[in-house]
């Protein structure tokens, strides 16, 4: 066998994963700033469980630990799941989530690169179906909470349960949750949006809500990934357009039931999903046209699930549903190969 090429670029899988993790840091910092130190606890726990489960399965499969543990893929999955889950949940919630993400979605499918579904989103979906109550108790923005937790408190809450401090003092429903329940109760839109948590997208001009800043920081991290060409523009753009267009149409039809596209873009998991989750190359479409179809459809599903589904957010289910379609999408969107005529490529199909 010919050995060429004898030279190679400096790129590596662990570097790719590390760069994505670095791009998450602005969002994480904003999260810690606005929602308290709980995020550090959940990140730490998820990372530990991820590496633990990964090690266990690698040992069972008889694979070498070092190259696979150092590829950073389990850590990235852990971070993405931690950022999708409420902080300050009991520790075993993170354990179960990582079990589904790393063991079921990733390793049982053959390990890195072999999974059909986004591991973090499988973990999230398993949790929201199994433990819906825990999944709705999000930390309240520090500015609006009755009681601000320290990092020690956060550890205490996660490991020892909620103890002396009532959860109501530091948790609240999310923006999307509040919107959904109150619209169903018939609360007028103006009253809902007047709540301080809705921030700028709710109409409080000049005052960005915490979740909005976090979303914007994910956006900034995503732009960094685009600028170093680690991801292409297709998926984030198509995903955001899919969400905004669908939400926009629904909003135009009935503004009393459906929130504005801006509120959709800046809340829940949309920004994280657009730049960090839908772009997971293993489970996403790979051709340029395929990426557009995949992401537009995912964005569309997010808005539809938010509007008509029983869960407040829809990013996980939208991404998982589109993961299913990826082989089909890729097959029918193969790009034209150099030297092939456009018509011949069509004939081949």
- Strand pairing category for 171-172 and 138-139: antiparallel
Euclidean distance between CA atoms 298 and 240, whole angstroms: 9
Euclidean distance between CA atoms 209 and 201, whole angstroms: 8
Binding other proteins (rule: CB under 8 A), the pick from 29, 61, 113, 166 is 113
Site for other proteins in 66-95 (CB under 8 A): 67-68, 71, 73
Following DSSP, what letter does each residue of 33-88 receive, concatenated?
HHH-THHHHHHHHHHHHHHHHHHHHHHHHT--HHHHHTT-HHHHHHHHHHHHSPTT
For 293-329, b where at least 16 C-beta lie within 10 A, e where not — what string? bbbbbbbbbbbbbbbeeebbbbbbbbbbebbeebeeb
- Centre a 10 Å sphere on the Cβ of residue 192 and count the other Cβ atoms it contains: 18
The least distance separating other proteins from the CB of residue 277, rounded to whole angstroms, comes to 15
Euclidean distance between CA atoms 264 and 261, whole angstroms: 5
Binding other proteins (rule: CB under 8 A), the pick from 152, 205, 337, 343 is 337
Binding mask 156-195 for other proteins (x = CB under 8 A): ----------------------------------------
Tokens at 77, concatenated:
């999955």
Residue closer to other proteins, measured from CB, 93 or 295: 295
Residue closer to other proteins, measured from CB, 206 or 339: 339
Q: Which stretch binds other proteins (CB under 8 A): 11-19, 54-62, 120-128, 236-244?
A: 11-19
8 sits near other proteins (criterion: CB under 8 A): yes
Binding mask 16-35 for other proteins (x = CB under 8 A): x-------------------
Residue closer to other proteins, measured from CB, 132 or 335: 335
The least distance separating other proteins from the CB of residue 25, rounded to whole angstroms, comes to 21
Euclidean distance between CA atoms 57 and 128, whole angstroms: 25
Residue closer to other proteins, measured from CB, 112 or 297: 112
Contact, 225 vs 275, CB < 8 A?
yes
The least distance separating other proteins from the CB of residue 15, rounded to whole angstroms, comes to 7
Site for other proteins in 201-260 (CB under 8 A): 229, 232
Site for other proteins in 276-315 (CB under 8 A): 281-282, 286-287
């Amino acid at each position: 066998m010919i050995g060429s090429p004898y030279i190679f670029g400096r790129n590596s899988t662990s570097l790719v994963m590390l760069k994505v993790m670095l791009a998450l840091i602005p969002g994480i910092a904003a999260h810690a700033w606005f929602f308290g130190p709980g995020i550090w606890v959940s990140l730490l726990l998820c990372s530990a469980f991820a590496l633990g489960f990964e090690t266990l399965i690698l040992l069972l499969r008889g694979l070498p630990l070092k190259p696979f543990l150092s590829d950073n893929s389990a850590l990235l999955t852990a971070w993405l799941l931690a950022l999708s889950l409420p902080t300050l949940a009991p520790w075993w919630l993170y354990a179960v989530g990582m079990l589904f993400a790393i063991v079921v979605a990733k390793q049982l499918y053959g390990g890195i690169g072999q999974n059909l579904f986004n591991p973090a989103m499988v973990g999230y979906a398993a949790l929201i179906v199994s433990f819906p109550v825990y999944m709705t108790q999000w930390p309240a923005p520090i500015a609006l909470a009755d009681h601000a937790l320290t990092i020690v408190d956060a550890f205490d809450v996660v490991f020892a349960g909620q103890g002396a401090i009532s959860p109501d003092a530091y948790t609240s429903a999310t923006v999307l949750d509040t919107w959904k329940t109150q619209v169903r109760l018939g609360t007028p839109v103006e009253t809902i949006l007047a709540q301080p948590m809705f921030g700028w997208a709710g109409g409080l001009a000049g005052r960005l809500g915490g979740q909005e800043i976090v979303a914007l920081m994910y956006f900034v991290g995503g732009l960094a990934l685009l600028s170093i060409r680690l991801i292409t523009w297709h998926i984030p753009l198509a995903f955001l357009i899919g969400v905004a267009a669908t939400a926009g149409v629904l909003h135009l039809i009935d503004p009393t039931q459906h929130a504005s596209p801006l509120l959709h873009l800046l809340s829940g998991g949309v920004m994280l999903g657009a730049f960090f989750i839908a772009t997971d190359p293993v489970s996403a479409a790979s051709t340029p046209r395929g990426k557009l179809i995949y992401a537009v459809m995912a964005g569309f599903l997010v808005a539809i699930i938010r509007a008509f589904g029983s869960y407040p957010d829809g990013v996980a289910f939208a991404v998982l549903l589109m993961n299913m379609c990826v082989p089909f999408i890729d097959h029918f969107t193969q790009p034209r190969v150099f030297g092939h005529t456009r018509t011949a490529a069509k004939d081949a199909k």
